[in-house]
């Protein structure tokens, strides 16, 4: 993408949803203000900003991810189903207007330049190993074969975004933290710590299951 450093962007706040670059996000557009936004976006460059809305604190995050519409179907009643793809991250500089839909001046965010590619690649390999162990142990505990997708990103930056986007559970706050980091190494390091912690927990549960195989059956 060859955008200017700063531009005006329509905003679509979503409760506890964090979009990452290259991730697919399907959306159902039904509110009148967002129907208007969709028409406006389709008439320009098919892009708008997805930002996390915190329903507990009633606040909108300062950092979001640009979504590009790659497919759109509008029904006779005016509702639309769209498929979007995450593009660049952005920081909100100033909200320009609130109605009929919010728009803001934003600046694009890029990760800092890698200073030590060898260390980054080593960390990336460690993260992949931890991820594979977590998936394998999870499958073992569930008595099912689980494998990683074949199209897993191999570049450290893209891998860090993929892992952040696929964290399990109610993790919107953690995902927002990872989205806002502008250092690939720091993002992968944080993800390694989470995966390693999960790996150790799953390994302990696996040992218990093997040692006491009838415990789960008795509980059921």
Q: What is the pLDDT of residues 116-129, one digit of tens each?
A: 899 999 999 999 99
pLDDT value of position 98: 93
pLDDT value of position 213: 66
End-to-end CA distance of the chain: 53
Please say which residue of 109, 126, 160 terminates a domain. Answer: 109
- Residue 20, classed as helix, strand or coil, is coil
**pLDDT of residue 92 exceeding 70:** yes
Q: Provide the pLDDT confidence category of residue 3 given band limits of 50, 70 and 90.
A: low
Please say which residue of 109, 126, 144 terminates a domain. Answer: 109
pLDDT value of position 121: 96
Asked if residue 214 and residue 125 are part of one domain, the reply reads yes
**pLDDT of residue 22 exceeding 90:** yes
* pTM over 0.75, yes/no: yes
Query: Is 180 inside any structural domain?
Result: yes
Strands (E), 3-154: 6-15, 24-29, 47-54, 59-60, 63-74, 80-97, 103-109
Asked if residue 135 and residue 97 are part of one domain, the reply reads no
Asked if residue 121 and residue 105 are part of one domain, the reply reads no
Percent of the chain at pLDDT exceeding 90? 79
pLDDT value of position 1: 41
Asked if residue 122 and residue 99 are part of one domain, the reply reads no
When comparing pLDDT for 80 and 215, which is higher? 80
Asked if residue 178 and residue 131 are part of one domain, the reply reads yes
Asked if residue 94 and residue 70 are part of one domain, the reply reads yes
The mean pLDDT of 50-59, rounded to a whole number, is: 94
**pLDDT of residue 106 exceeding 80:** yes
pLDDT value of position 216: 52
Asked if residue 47 and residue 82 are part of one domain, the reply reads yes
13 phi, psi to nearest 5 deg: -75, 135
Query: Is 86 inside any structural domain?
Result: yes
Asked if residue 150 and residue 104 are part of one domain, the reply reads no
Residue for token digits 């460690």? Answer: 126
Give the domain range for residue 25: 6-109
Mean pLDDT of the chain: 91
The Cα–Cα gap between 120 and 154 comes to: 12
pLDDT value of position 198: 93
Asked if residue 155 and residue 70 are part of one domain, the reply reads no
Please say which residue of 83, 109, 135 terminates a domain. Answer: 109
Query: Is 1 inside any structural domain?
Result: no
- Considering its fold, how many domains does the chain have in total? 2
């Amino acid at each position: 993408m060859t955008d200017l450093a700063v531009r005006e962007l329509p905003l679509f706040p979503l409760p506890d949803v964090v979009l990452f670059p290259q991730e697919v996000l399907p959306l159902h557009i039904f509110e009148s203000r967002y129907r208007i936004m969709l028409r406006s976006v389709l008439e320009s460059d098919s892009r708008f900003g997805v930002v996390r809305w915190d329903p507990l604190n009633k606040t909108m995050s300062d950092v979001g991810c640009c979504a590009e519409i790659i497919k759109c179907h509008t029904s006779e009643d005016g509702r639309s189903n769209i498929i979007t793809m995450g593009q660049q991250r952005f920081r909100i500089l100033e909200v320009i207007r609130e109605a009929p839909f919010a728009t803001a001046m934003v600046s694009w965010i890029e990760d800092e330049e890698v200073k030590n590619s060898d260390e980054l690649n080593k960390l990336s390999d460690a993260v992949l190993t931890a991820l594979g162990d977590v998936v394998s142990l999870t499958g073992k505990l569930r008595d099912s074969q689980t494998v990683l997708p074949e199209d897993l990103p191999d570049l450290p930056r893209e891998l860090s975004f993929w892992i952040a986007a696929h964290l399990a559970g109610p993790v919107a706050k953690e995902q927002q933290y990872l989205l806002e980091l502008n250092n690939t190494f720091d993002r992968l390091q944080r993800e390694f710590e989470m995966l390693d912690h999960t790996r150790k927990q799953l390994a302990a549960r696996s040992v218990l299951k093997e040692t006491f195989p009838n415990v789960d059956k008795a509980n059921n």
